[in-house]
């Protein structure tokens, strides 16, 4: 390493990192050894140390390390302009991010980087600097190789039925003496047994969750003292999803179930769910909390309720309605009115799931009321941009061109033929429904679509036949077409989705429309 000619110009950050993967390289990588080497270099070159940053137990494949981020913050604050590490792998083992800091970030921030054992010094011209990218790739390959070996060992333990997770399933705890083995947690086990007993009695998952919340029983996360980075409206509350997941988990009948999720990459902490065929299930590895016969009956009860959740309702603003207070999507319920007619209502989903917890309020309001209010506002906004007088000449020109072809008679016949074909299709679909070939849901969907298409064609046919009997002037027809467009365009779901980002309903039944464009916000 060359002599540093101007040591007083530098404020030095000494960065030290150690992880389990580095322990295989021997004790020379220890925090004490790294710190001793860096301090000796600083003393010899009479440098001023601003701070020492130590990440003990953090992998080099990720740069989301507490003291590394603290060092970056000090660089941003211009408190540090030199970074020294024992070697390049201490900075990181991800060659892409290591190259980013070496080649882009440090030079842009006027930070000099020195790696002692590699002979890297970005403050001087050196051949060691030229091969830095290759060193970074080798460090990355080392991390990848270590990851493969660790994954192989974990898979082997999973196949043997040994527990390798961080926290056992709620109701179990780690064995006090035997490694990779779980035993019953006598404090949480009664809650688990009660959940299964209630399910066996026919109590729904939602009702079980409500009871546990009313009795202020800690959730599995709260019991394990786990902290969540993002706290939502449901945080700290039992939910039907949590209960359902527990009721379907074979861990409670003594089988070790692992491998349900897998990491995307050795460089990432993000996981994705595995299909059930890829799970690692080893039977009879620990004491069960639930007998297999009760577990089997509960699976049948849970499966029998699935059809009740599949019912959906179609309406114009579907997927666009949210609660203003908690920010969650609104649920839709079908309630009969005083006359016995079914009407759709919006209800806050948070309130629906956690009624007794007081997390949010009902927000109940008719779907028709919201839809009409939104359409009225969209018409008001659109009319300030549309000018009917500009559209009429365009419509008039199109009508004149259409009349030149004199194809009205042919179009009438075509429409009549299509209407007859749709009527025949309706008859066939109805017979398929009666014979059981078509489900009620599919029948309703097809029936509504065909009826809408037929109604549109019949309306067009009436218009053409009226024109044939008593011809209307081109200007008058153009005016009617423009008015028809302006009145019907705002009821198009495609248009509404394009214009509106979301609609929020407040506790006092106010409707807040958030448009996708600022110009429309200004008009509204």
Domains of the chain are 7-144 (3.40.50.1390), 172-306 (3.90.1750.20), 370-523 (no CATH)
Indicate the angle between helix axes 240-247 and 292-304, nearest 10 degrees.
140
114/460: higher pLDDT: 114
Q: How confident is the model at residue 375 (pLDDT cuts 50, 70, 90)?
A: confident
CA distance 494 to 483: 19
Percent residues over pLDDT 90 in the chain: 11
Other beta carbons within 10 angstroms of residue 172's beta carbon come to 21
- Give the helix ranges, DSSP H, for 289-387: 292-304, 349-353, 367-385
* pLDDT at site 52: 94
CA distance 77 to 66: 17
Q: Are the C-beta atoms of residues 511 and 370 closer than 8 Å to each other?
A: yes
pLDDT tops 70 at residue 398: no
Q: How confident is the model at residue 486 (pLDDT cuts 50, 70, 90)?
A: low
* pLDDT at site 214: 85
pLDDT tops 60 at residue 414: yes
* pLDDT at site 307: 46
**What phi-psi label fits residue 347: left (phi over 0), alpha (psi between -120 and 50 degrees) or beta?**
beta
Phi and psi at 218, nearest 5°, equal -60, 140
pLDDT tops 80 at residue 423: yes
Which residue is associated with the tokens 């299930």? 281
CA distance 115 to 15: 10
pLDDT tops 70 at residue 492: no
* pLDDT at site 310: 45
Q: Are the C-beta atoms of residues 136 and 229 closer than 8 Å to each other?
A: no
Per-residue pLDDT of 153-180, as tens digits, reads 777 787 888 888 778 888 999 888 888 8
257/384: higher pLDDT: 257
pLDDT tops 80 at residue 380: no
Which residue is associated with the tokens 């201490």? 90
Other beta carbons within 10 angstroms of residue 167's beta carbon come to 15
Q: Which of 300, 294, 287, 298 is nearest to 169 (CA)?
A: 287
Phi and psi at 514, nearest 5°, equal -110, 110
CA distance 119 to 122: 10
Token readout for 109 is: 């921030």
Partner residues linked to 500 by β-bridges = 515
Phi and psi at 90, nearest 5°, equal -70, -35
When pLDDT is averaged across residues 329-343 and rounded to a whole number, the result is 76
Other beta carbons within 10 angstroms of residue 462's beta carbon come to 11
Partner residues linked to 183 by β-bridges = 173
Q: Which of 193-207, 232-246, 422-436, 478-492 has the highest mean pLDDT?
A: 193-207
* pLDDT at site 28: 54
* pLDDT at site 309: 45
* pLDDT at site 122: 83
Q: How confident is the model at residue 313 (pLDDT cuts 50, 70, 90)?
A: low
Supply the DSSP symbol for 237.
S
Q: Which of 161, 160, 10, 158 is nearest to 83 (CA)?
A: 10
Per-residue pLDDT of 129-156, as tens digits, reads 555 565 556 656 655 666 666 777 777 7
**What phi-psi label fits residue 26: left (phi over 0), alpha (psi between -120 and 50 degrees) or beta?**
left
Q: What pTM was computed for the model?
A: 0.44
Q: How confident is the model at residue 81 (pLDDT cuts 50, 70, 90)?
A: very high
Half-sphere exposure of 219 (CA within 13 A, CB side): 18
CA distance 94 to 141: 9
When pLDDT is averaged across residues 357-365 and rounded to a whole number, the result is 79
CA distance 77 to 70: 11
When pLDDT is averaged across residues 74-97 and rounded to a whole number, the result is 89
Q: How confident is the model at residue 308 (pLDDT cuts 50, 70, 90)?
A: very low
pLDDT tops 80 at residue 127: no
Q: Which of 199-203, 362-366, 391-395, 494-498 has the lowest mean pLDDT?
A: 391-395
- Average model confidence (pLDDT) across the chain: 78
pLDDT tops 60 at residue 40: yes
Contacts 24+ apart (CB under 8 A), 422-430: 422/450, 422/453, 422/454, 422/457, 423/454, 425/450, 426/450, 426/451, 426/454
pLDDT tops 90 at residue 77: yes
């Amino acid at each position: 390493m060359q002599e540093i000619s101007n040591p007083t110009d530098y404020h030095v950050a000494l960065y030290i990192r150690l992880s389990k993967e580095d322990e295989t390289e021997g004790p020379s990588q220890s925090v004490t050894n790294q710190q001793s080497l860096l301090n000796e270099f600083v003393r010899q070159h009479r440098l001023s140390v601003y701070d020492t940053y130590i990440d003990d137990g953090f992998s080099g494949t990720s740069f989301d390390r507490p003291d590394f981020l603290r060092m970056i913050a000090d660089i941003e604050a211009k408190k540090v302009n030199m970074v020294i590490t024992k070697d390049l792998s201490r900075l990181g083992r991800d060659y892409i991010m290591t190259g980013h800091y070496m080649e882009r970030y440090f030079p842009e921030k006027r930070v000099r980087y020195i790696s002692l054992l590699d002979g890297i010094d970005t403050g001087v011209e050196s051949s060691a600097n030229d091969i830095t990218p290759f060193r970074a790739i080798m460090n990355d390959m080392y991390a990848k190789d270590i990851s493969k070996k660790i994954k192989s060992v974990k898979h082997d333990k999973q196949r043997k039925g040994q527990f390798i997770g961080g926290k056992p399933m709620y109701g179990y705890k780690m064995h006090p003496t035997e490694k990779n083995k779980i035993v019953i947690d006598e404090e949480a086990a009664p809650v688990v047994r009660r959940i299964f007993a209630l399910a066996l009695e026919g109590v729904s998952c939602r009702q079980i969750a409500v009871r546990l919340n009313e009795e202020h029983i800690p959730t599995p996360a709260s019991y394990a003292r786990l902290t969540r980075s993002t706290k939502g409206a449901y945080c700290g509350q039992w939910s039907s999803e949590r209960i359902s997941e527990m009721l379907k988990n074979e861990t409670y009948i003594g089988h070790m179930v692992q491998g349900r999720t897998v990491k995307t990459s050795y460089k990432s902490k993000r996981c994705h769910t595995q299909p059930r065929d890829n799970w690692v299930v080893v039977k009879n590895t620990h004491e069960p909390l639930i007998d297999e016969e009760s577990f089997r009956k509960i699976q049948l009860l849970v499966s029998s309720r699935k059809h009740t959740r599949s019912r959906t309702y179609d309406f114009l603003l579907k997927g666009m309605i949210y609660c203003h207070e908690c920010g969650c999507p609104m649920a839709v319920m079908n309630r009969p009115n005083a006359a016995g007619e079914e009407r759709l209502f919006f209800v806050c989903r948070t309130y629906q799931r956690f009624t007794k917890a007081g997390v949010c309020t009902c927000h109940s309001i008719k779907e028709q009321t919201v839809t009409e209010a939104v359409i009225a506002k969209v018409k008001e906004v659109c009319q300030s941009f549309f000018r009917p007088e500009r559209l009429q000449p365009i419509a008039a020109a199109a009508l004149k061109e259409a009349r030149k072809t004199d194809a009205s008679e042919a179009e009438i016949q075509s429409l009549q033929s299509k209407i007859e074909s749709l009527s025949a299709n309706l008859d066939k679909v109805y017979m398929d429904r009666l014979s059981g070939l078509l489900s009620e849901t599919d029948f309703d969907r097809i029936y509504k679509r065909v009826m809408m298409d037929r109604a549109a064609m019949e309306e067009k046919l009436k218009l053409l036949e009226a024109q044939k009997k008593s011809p209307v002037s081109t200007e008058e027809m153009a005016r009617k077409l423009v008015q028809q467009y302006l009145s019907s365009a705002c009821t198009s779901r495609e248009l509404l989705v394009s214009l509106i980002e979301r609609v929020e309903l407040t506790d006092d039944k106010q409707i807040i429309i958030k448009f996708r464009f600022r110009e429309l916000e200004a008009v509204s």
